[in-house]
Amino acid sequence: MNQEFMTALAEIAEDKNISKDSLLETIEFALITAYKKNYGHAQNVVVNIDKETGEIKVYQQKTVSETVEDPNLEVSVEEAAALHGGYSIGDIVNFEVTPKSFGRIAAQTAKQVVVQRIKEAERDKVFTIYRDRENSMVTGLITKNEGKYISVQIGGDTEAILPGNEQIAGEHYTPGTRMKFYVAEVKLAGNNPQIILSRTHPGLVKKLFEQEVPECGGGVVEIKSISREAGSRSKISVYSQDENVDAVGACVGPRGSRVQVICDELGGEKIDIIKFSEDPAQFISAALSPSDVVSCEVNEEEHSAKVLVPSGQLSLAIGKEGQNARLAAKLTGWKIDIKPEE
């Protein structure tokens, strides 16, 4: 340990955003362990590193005692008095015991500690950054495809995971491809931060609209609810308090350009944009688009609705394998019973 090392330590602390004092405390603790390993565990020692010069001193601490039972831990009143007249029974006396060869051990130990602390600090930094970015959208580069798990590089060199249950069925994840992902969860797995991404989460649709539609990003158009069957179809309800703003039109964009960008990002997933209404009957009727609705009778108590549709549009209202009705019910939060007009 010397002046050059201390200067380097200060630079590392600043570059990696680690407290220099924290580094020194960790090094001191590690040096105590190294000393005990090399010179006996019975020693009650402390290590002091001069913050300016890097000089190391090792002190064996002994308690002033009337009767000395363990010379490694205790010192007599007489011996303490010979060193300094102000000691009393129970006081701690420091005896310097710095070994001549301790510099080499200290240097090796300090290097190991600094490397370890840098790794820990970088892990902590990644965890803190992405914990605050939960429920946000990131752009990532696919680096490895193992089928069940896809490795994705985000934010420079941070690795995240796209698990199988967050992948869109039939979507191809080719290494080298860039995609948008939803940060579904950030957690610690052991001591390592684990970032879980998603391509199926409804939040991804919401974030894409906020990115592509300025009115959504600026809050002029509010996204009220989303129902999604990833890779196939989504329904999104939108609303604006500004009467001069067409919420649905803003999301669709000129000639459908805005919603088309989002559909392309989601691999061709179809998106129905619905105008939200405080009137449940109107909202449910709109949610069953593209089918027309003849009438909608709601039961507030049971939170259900009976809907009549033109006889020729029953299958359209229900959708393939019930998808349209299912998405409409999830979007509105109402149980929907669909019947043909006749």
For the chain, domain boundaries: 3-128, 137-198, 201-276, 278-342
Evaluate whether 201-276 and 278-342 have a shared fold. yes
- How many other C-beta atoms lie within 10 A of the C-beta of residue 23? 21
Q: What CATH number was assigned to the domain covering residues 137-198?
A: 2.40.50.140
* Domain 278-342 CATH class label: alpha beta
201-276: CATH architecture: 2-Layer Sandwich (3.30)
Pick from 172, 226, 187: which is nearest to 204 by CA? 226
Instruction: List, in sequence order, the alpha helices (H) in 189-237.
Output: 202-212, 214-217
Residue 67: alpha-carbon gap to chain centroid: 58
**Cα separation, 61 vs 91, whole angstroms:** 10
pLDDT along the chain (342 residues), means of 10: 75 78 82 78 80 83 88 86 81 85 71 76 79 92 91 89 94 95 89 90 97 95 97 97 95 95 95 96 96 95 95 94 96 96 82
Contact 136, 30 (CB under 8 A): no
CATH number belonging to the domain at 3-128, selected among 3.50.50.60, 3.30.1480.10, 3.40.190.10, 3.20.20.480: 3.30.1480.10
- Write down the pLDDT at residue 2: 67
- How many other C-beta atoms lie within 10 A of the C-beta of residue 271? 20
